[in-house]
Amino acid sequence: MIHLALTTGEPAGIGPEISVKAAQQFLNEHPEVVIHLVGDQTLLGSGSERLRIEHCPLEEAVAPGQLNVKNASYVIATLDHAIDGCLSGIYQAMVTAPVQKSVIADSGISFTGHTEYLAERCQIPLVVMMLCGQPVFQSPLLPDQLRVALVTTHMPLREVPNFLSQELIQDTVKIVERDLRIRFSIPKPMIYVTGLNPHAGESGHLGREEMDIIGPAIKAMQAEGYSLVGPLPGDTIFSPQNLKQADVILAMSHDQGLAPFKFVTFGEGVNVTLGLPMIRTSVDHGTALNIAGQGVADISSMLAALDLALNMARNTRGTSGS
User: What is the chain's mean pLDDT, rounded?
Assistant: 94
Task: Look at residue 138 in the predicted model and tell me its pLDDT.
Answer: 78
The CA distances from residue 275 to 119, 171, 175, 183, 230, in Å, are 9, 10, 6, 11, 22
Q: Where are the domains of the chain?
A: 1-124+276-322, 128-273
Report how far residue 37's alpha carbon sits from residue 19's, in angstroms, rounded to the nearest whole number. 7
Q: Residue 320: pLDDT above 50? A: no
Sheet strand arrangement including 270-274: 51-55, 33-39, 2-7, 93-96, 280-283, 270-274, 128-133, 146-150, 248-251, 190-194, 227-232
Residue 62 pLDDT class (50, 70, 90 cuts):
very high
Q: Residue 319: pLDDT above 50? A: no
Using one digit for the tens of pLDDT, what is the confidence trace for 123-172?
999 999 999 998 888 788 888 889 999 999 888 999 999 999 999 999 99
On whether the CB atoms of residues 83 and 251 are closer than 8 A, the answer is no
Residue 112 pLDDT class (50, 70, 90 cuts):
confident
Task: Look at residue 284 in the predicted model and tell me its pLDDT.
Answer: 86
Report how far residue 119's alpha carbon sits from residue 47's, in angstroms, rounded to the nearest whole number. 30
Q: Average pLDDT of 246-262?
A: 96
Report how far residue 184's alpha carbon sits from residue 92's, in angstroms, rounded to the nearest whole number. 15
Report how far residue 114's alpha carbon sits from residue 105's, in angstroms, rounded to the nearest whole number. 12
Report how far residue 5's alpha carbon sits from residue 307's, in angstroms, rounded to the nearest whole number. 13
Instruction: Decide whether 1-124+276-322 matches 128-273 in CATH topology.
Output: yes
Of the candidates 217, 209, 132, 128, the one whose C-alpha atom is nearest the C-alpha of residue 172 is 128
On whether the CB atoms of residues 53 and 44 are closer than 8 A, the answer is yes
* Domain made up of 1-124+276-322: CATH architecture: 3-Layer(aba) Sandwich (3.40)
Task: Look at residue 308 in the predicted model and tell me its pLDDT.
Answer: 96
Using one digit for the tens of pLDDT, what is the confidence trace for 178-231?
999 999 999 999 999 999 999 999 999 999 999 999 999 999 999 999 999 999
Domain 128-273, CATH: 3.40.718.10
